[in-house]
Amino acid sequence: MGNTVIEIMERRKSVRTYEPTPISEAAHGAVMDYLAQEENLRGPFGGKVKVEWMWADGGAAEGKSVKLGTYGVIKNPQAYLVGAVQNGKTALLEFGYIFHKLILYATGLGLGTCWIGGTFSRKSFSREMELAPGEIIPCITPLGYPREKQRLLDSTVRFIAKSDQRKPWEELFYDGEFGRALTREAAGKLDVPLEMFRQGPSASNKQPWRAVVSQDQRHVHFYLQSTPNYSGNKLGFEMQRIDMGIAACSFELACRELGISGVWTMEDPKLNVPSPLTEYMLSYKLE
């Protein structure tokens, strides 16, 4: 589409109302080619996910609404991308990372998407999905062309989830240690990658992620700040681990586009954390 990844990330938002127009062969083919490349389904720690394209049942009948996941109603979806992964701490993180990259790829093709988390069975779709023992379907996305004028219901969901709001920098990013806020000015070249991290989607827009940039700015440590009693974490898997993977994906893609190279590690710097709900997840080590 001739867009940069940063532009695609800035443009992406959850689309819950689609045009009844079928998805073009070109867009379908491009997504299938993407899925056929094994490296696109592998995470930064070697984890793998399975993703399948499912056409929506009943074709493109105008007016068709589907209740999916934990909240929100999707109108006129033309297809779904359905993801499956082992249910585990790192596996869910990698799922978020891999599936978000795919969502951004689809966005770049002009398709609308919406992360939908919930409990899906392998029989939830037009075609049965084969699952290995221990594998779950934590999230899917509908696909289709976004309807320009979004439904009233869409804006209600956006309003309830406060979708258009993100927490301010000082609540999310820290300088050397928790408690010392990192300003955008002090973030230097990490400004845009951190901003892309902040703009990323999360379940119910809870934004359960924090980052501490080391004082020499050679490491960025990412933490999960779990939301107390969040229903999304009680579905038999911890949804907010997926949010963390999404944030890591946004951060890395922005870094790469800006020529900031680095590698992912899991080496806990053992910083003092502000709450028992703050859990170290992963770090980006700049090279």
Ligand X SMILES: Cc1cc2nc3c(=O)[nH]c(=O)nc-3n(C[C@H](O)[C@H](O)[C@H](O)COP(=O)(O)O)c2cc1C
Facing residues of 63 across strands?
Answer: none
Selected from 4, 70, 124, 278, the binder of ligand X by CB under 6 A is 70
Nearest-10 crossing angle of helices 89-108, 25-36: 150
Tokens describing residue 242: 């997926």
Q: Collect all residues with Cβ–Cβ distance below 8 Å to 169 and sequence separation of at least 6.
A: 181, 182, 183, 184, 194, 198
Sign of torsion over alpha carbons 48, 50, 53, 54: negative
Min dist. Cβ of residue 71 to ligand X (A): 5
For residues 74 to 113, the per-residue mask of contacts with ligand X, x marking binding by CB under 6 A and - elsewhere, is ----------------------------------------
Q: Strand, coil or helix: what is 195?
A: helix
Min dist. Cβ of residue 200 to ligand X (A): 8
Residues of span 40-59 touching ligand X by CB under 6 A:
none
Helices (H), the chain: 5-11, 25-36, 89-108, 152-160, 169-172, 191-199, 239-257
Selected from 43, 201, 208, 245, the binder of ligand X by CB under 6 A is 201
Selected from 90, 202, 226, 250, the binder of ligand X by CB under 6 A is 202
For residues 122 to 161, the per-residue mask of contacts with ligand X, x marking binding by CB under 6 A and - elsewhere, is -----------------x-----------------x---x
Residues in the chain: 287
Residue nearest to ligand X (CB): 72
Min dist. Cβ of residue 163 to ligand X (A): 3
- CA-based Rg of the chain, rounded to a whole angstrom? 18
Min dist. Cβ of residue 284 to ligand X (A): 20
Sign of torsion over alpha carbons 87, 140, 95, 208: negative
In the block, residue with structure tokens 């710097």: 269
Pick the closer one to ligand X by CB: 36 or 152: 152
Among the listed ranges 53-61, 178-186, 196-204, 254-262, the one in contact with ligand X (CB under 6 A) is: 196-204
Residue 201: which of 232, 171, 245 has the closest Cα? Answer: 245
Min dist. Cβ of residue 282 to ligand X (A): 17
Where do contacts with ligand X occur on this chain (CB under 6 A)? 13-14, 16, 69-72, 114-118, 139, 157, 161, 163, 201-205, 239, 242-243, 246
